[in-house]
Amino acid sequence: MGVYPWVAWFAFRRYTAYPLGSGAEALTNTVFGFIRASVLIALWRARPGLGGYDTADAVTFCFLTQALIGPVQVFGGMELTERIRNGDVAIDLYRPTALQGWWLADDLGRAAGSLLLRGVLPLVAGALVFPFHWPGPAGAAAFTVAVTLGVLVSFGLRYLVTLCSFWLHDGRGMDAVALVLSLFFSGMTVPLVVFPGLLGTVARGLPWAAQIQVPADVYLGKHTGTGLLGALAFQAVWAMALLAAGHVLTGMARRKLVIHGG
Amino acid sequence: MRAEPGMIEAEDVAKSFTVRKRSGRLRRTRTTLDAVDGVSFTVRRGEFVGYLGPNGAGKSTTIKMLTGILTPSSGSLRVCGLDPARRRTELARRIGVVFGQRTTLWWDLPLRDSLTLIRRLYRVDAAAHRTRLAELTALLELEPFLDTPVRQLSLGQRMRGDLAAALLHGPELLVLDEPTIGLDVVSKATVRGFLERLNTERGTTILLTTHDLGDIERLCRRVMIIDHGRLAFDGGLDRLRATVGADRMLVVELARPGPPVVLDGIEVLRTEGPRQWLRLPNAVNAAAVVSALAERHEVRDISLREADIEEVLAGLYRGDHAYWCSGRPVAP
Ligand SMILES: Nc1ncnc2c1ncn2[C@@H]1O[C@H](COP(=O)(O)OP(=O)(O)O)[C@@H](O)[C@H]1O
Ligand SMILES: [Mg+2]
């Protein structure tokens, strides 16, 4: 372990050092939450019980996703990308630690800060205005685990995209694809439970589902007993696979490295 | 193996990059750029070496190889007896690096916090950390801004913070890539004084990349010059000056245009109207020359300039002394 908990802790402090910006984002996410909620309410009025959700489930889901935008960084991106482009990554590569480990720790700290500053407001606001579900203590514990795993998966995905900057001169195309996949397959746009047939099955099996859909379902108590364990295992397996891929790709990047700038 | 291996041993080290260039609408051609093209040198324990060269010469690339960030394309490299690219982690615990244009410090946190994190990173025990931090704080005068967020520090303060960060784990070798670039005079003086003491009192080996002649003259007994990826010079500062004739130059403005002045041991390199450019070998006393001139001629203005390192280098590569009279305006 060594330095990593410290990296996470300092990252947490770093991301919470300027709370005003986060506050503004929390407010924006809340406002969009209300807009999305009214659309979802209309949808569930027309199709009650759609995807196994009732209206309160759908609304809760909506505000949960709004709260998780920051922590799982649905819109993608990492500070490391910019550092690769401008050459500051030399500093990261020089440190006597693993590149992925360092930035994972950093991201966990960031996610915790983000949950606090950008997650609480949408949830509370949604709960005050709409019919809402609150989990019991066990549910809350499971949700905590699911969000943590969701952050790991999100990091794993973003880290892989970021590492491509070592090879690509212009990562914008890559970022755009990553963004669409993330928005569509995480459940951010519409809950994955309403995706029909094969598309739904596939979507629910992809790693993006582990970012938002699974934590939300855990929160809503849609998984119980072994089902719950299965859901968490699904996340954990994706997290491990992505981090393993990240590890391999980091090694490749180190070997054929291009560092931009002096 | 020799009894006392060098701190840095480079043998025919090269690094080439593949560069893709657009050539036409869709076509791209790949070319190879030899950033470092076979350099060999040894830096012994306790030396203070200046590593110079024009922009794009390959200095930073060399440093990235020395620190294990980049793997050489060919040649053999040993730093502290280790192969940097293979034993990067181990090596990082024994050397310190400052990349002048970048920072290891965290922008949003006070300097003190970054230093705490670095203590954890290098696993320095608490007592040793306290002693070293106190020492570095005193020498680099960090006290006034230890609790200031790094983003609010001046460049000079930040650089001193970065130096402290690079030295908290007590490295044997310190590698500096343009640490004084853009610093104000006071910060430069602090940094130079500090590096000098570090080298003489601590015996820390230092490799310094800089464009600043002041840095080199004050600090480096030995300089290595790289150009187009090759070592063009490796030796003492005096020998460098002798080799390229890097004497001082006296620019005299006489009252009237006239023939080149005649003074013992002084060569007039160029005249332009009332102005004359006189080469002043290091052995010659400038004051004596000035008073001799004033005795024989009506002198309007006089200025003495040291060759600056860019020009010395330029002269070295061209193999002539044209740099004296070309380049920047020589107005007083
Ligand atoms: N990652 C890279 N890809 C391609 N060319 C590079 C890269 N890094 C450096 N270069 C080139 O290698 C040469 C040496 O660069 P560098 O070592 O940074 O020079 P210096 O530090 O002496 O100014 C330059 O021509 C530079 O453009
Ligand atoms: Mg450079």
Atom of ligand 1 nearest to the CA of A262: 18
CB atoms within 10 A of CB B38: 16
Q: Note the pLDDT of residue B321.
A: 37
Do B126 and B231 belong to one domain?
yes
> Ligand 2 centroid vs B53 CA: distance in angstroms?
9
Domain membership of residue B46 (yes or no) is yes
DSSP structure string for chain A: -TTHHHHHHHHHHHHTS-HHHHHHHHHHHHHHHHHHHHHHHHHHHHSTTGGG--HHHHHHHHHHHHHHTTTTTTT---HHHHHHHHSTHHHHHHSSS-HHHHHHHHHHHHHHHHIIIIIHHHHHHHHHHS------HHHHHHHHHHHHHHHHHHHHHHHHHHHGGGT-S--HHHHHHHHHHHHHHSSSSS-GGGS-HHHHHHHHHSGGGGTTHHHHHHHTT---THHHHHHHHHHHHHHHHHHHHHHHHHHHHHHT------
A18, A95, A259: residue with CB nearest B64: A259
Q: Which chain A residues are within 8 Å of B108, Cβ to Cβ? A: 13-14, 17-18
CATH number at residue B272: 3.30.70
Q: Note the pLDDT of residue A247.
A: 97
Q: How far apart are CA A256 and CA B15, in angstroms?
A: 12
Q: DSSP letter for B306, please.
A: P
Q: How far apart are CA A195 and CA A208, in angstroms?
A: 14
Q: How far apart are CA B109 and CA B105, in angstroms?
A: 8
Domain membership of residue B217 (yes or no) is yes
Q: Note the pLDDT of residue B324.
A: 31
Do B58 and B138 belong to one domain?
yes
Do B150 and B201 belong to one domain?
yes
Q: Does the beta carbon of B117 lie under 8 angstroms from any beta carbon of chain A?
A: yes
Q: Note the pLDDT of residue B329.
A: 27
CB-CB contact of A83 with A35 (8 Å): no
Q: Note the pLDDT of residue B330.
A: 28
pLDDT-derived band at B316, boundaries 50, 70, 90: low
Q: Identify the burial level of A200 via C-beta atoms within 10 angstroms of its C-beta, where 0-12 means exposed, 13-18 middle and 19 or more buried.
A: middle
List the one residue out of B53, B66, B75 whose CA is nearest residue B99: B66
Q: Is B57 in the pocket of ligand 1 (CB under 6 A)?
A: yes
Q: Note the pLDDT of residue A192.
A: 93
Q: Write the pLDDT tens digit of every residue in B66-98.
A: 999 999 999 999 999 999 989 999 999 999 999
Q: Note the pLDDT of residue B213.
A: 76
**Sheet-wide strand order for B299-305:** B267-272, B275-280, B248-254, B299-305
Phi–psi pair at B32, nearest 5 degrees: -100, 130
List the one residue out of B268, B262, B275 whose CA is nearest residue B249: B268
Domain membership of residue B105 (yes or no) is yes
Do B67 and B215 belong to one domain?
yes
- Give the residue carrying structure tokens 């460098």: B240
Domain membership of residue B91 (yes or no) is yes
Q: Which chain B residues are within 8 Å of A93, Cβ to Cβ? A: 69
CATH number at residue B149: 3.40.50.300
Domain membership of residue B42 (yes or no) is yes
Phi–psi pair at B235, nearest 5 degrees: 175, -170
Q: What average pLDDT does this structure show over B213-234?
A: 87
Do B59 and B173 belong to one domain?
yes
Do B129 and B34 belong to one domain?
yes
pLDDT-derived band at B331, boundaries 50, 70, 90: very low
Nearest chain A residue (CA) to B122: A96
> Which among B220, B241, B262 is the end of a domain?
B241
> Which among B208, B241, B274 is the end of a domain?
B241
Q: Which chain A residues are within 8 Å of B178, Cβ to Cβ? A: 262
Question: Would the pLDDT of B318 be above 80?
Answer: no
Q: Write the pLDDT tens digit of every residue in B110-132.
A: 999 999 999 999 999 999 999 99
B179: containing domain: 8-241
Do B186 and B88 belong to one domain?
yes
Instruction: Measure in Å the smallest separation between the Cα of B89 and chain A Cα atoms.
Output: 4
CB-CB contact of A211 with A74 (8 Å): yes
CB atoms within 10 A of CB B108: 16
Question: Would the pLDDT of B29 be above 90?
Answer: no
Q: Which of A22, A91, A93, A94 to mutate to test the interface with B (most CBs of B within 10 A)?
A: A94
B99, B103, B106: residue with CB nearest A10: B106
Q: How far apart are CA A43 and CA A58, in angstroms?
A: 9
Q: Write the pLDDT tens digit of every residue in B239-253.
A: 776 666 556 778 899
Domain count, chain B: 2
Q: Write the pLDDT tens digit of every residue in B135-171.
A: 999 999 999 999 999 999 999 999 999 999 999 999 9
A88, A97, A255: residue with CB nearest B71: A255
Q: Does the beta carbon of B148 lie under 8 angstroms from any beta carbon of chain A?
A: no
Do B129 and B232 belong to one domain?
yes
Q: What average pLDDT does this structure show over B105-112?
A: 93
Q: Identify the burial level of B107 via C-beta atoms within 10 angstroms of its C-beta, where 0-12 means exposed, 13-18 middle and 19 or more buried.
A: middle
Atom of ligand 1 nearest to the CA of B177: 21
| Residue from B16, B17, B227 to probe ligand 1 pocket by mutation (most atoms less than 8 Å from CB) | B17
Do B158 and B258 belong to one domain?
no
Helix (H, G, I), strand (E, B) or coil at B146: coil
Q: Note the pLDDT of residue A246.
A: 98
Nearest chain A residue (CA) to B63: A262
CB-CB contact of B15 with B61 (8 Å): yes
Q: Is B61 in the pocket of ligand 1 (CB under 6 A)?
A: yes
Q: Note the pLDDT of residue B240.
A: 74
Domain membership of residue B289 (yes or no) is yes
Q: Note the pLDDT of residue B247.
A: 65
Say what percent of chain B tops pLDDT 90.
52
Domain membership of residue B219 (yes or no) is yes
Q: Note the pLDDT of residue A116.
A: 94
Q: Note the pLDDT of residue B315.
A: 63
CB-CB contact of A238 with A91 (8 Å): no
Q: Note the pLDDT of residue B304.
A: 82
Domain membership of residue B274 (yes or no) is yes
Question: Would the pLDDT of B212 be above 90?
Answer: no
Do B39 and B178 belong to one domain?
yes
Do B27 and B142 belong to one domain?
yes
Q: How far apart are CA B57 and CA B61, in angstroms?
A: 9
Q: Identify the burial level of B57 via C-beta atoms within 10 angstroms of its C-beta, where 0-12 means exposed, 13-18 middle and 19 or more buried.
A: buried
pLDDT-derived band at B3, boundaries 50, 70, 90: low
Q: Write the pLDDT tens digit of every residue in B269-286.
A: 888 889 988 888 777 888
Helix (H, G, I), strand (E, B) or coil at B95: strand
DSSP structure string for A114-160: HIIIIIHHHHHHHHHHS------HHHHHHHHHHHHHHHHHHHHHHHH
Q: How far apart are CA A119 and CA A27, in angstroms?
A: 10
User: Which residue stretches of chain A have pLDDT < 50?
Assistant: 260-262
Do B183 and B254 belong to one domain?
no
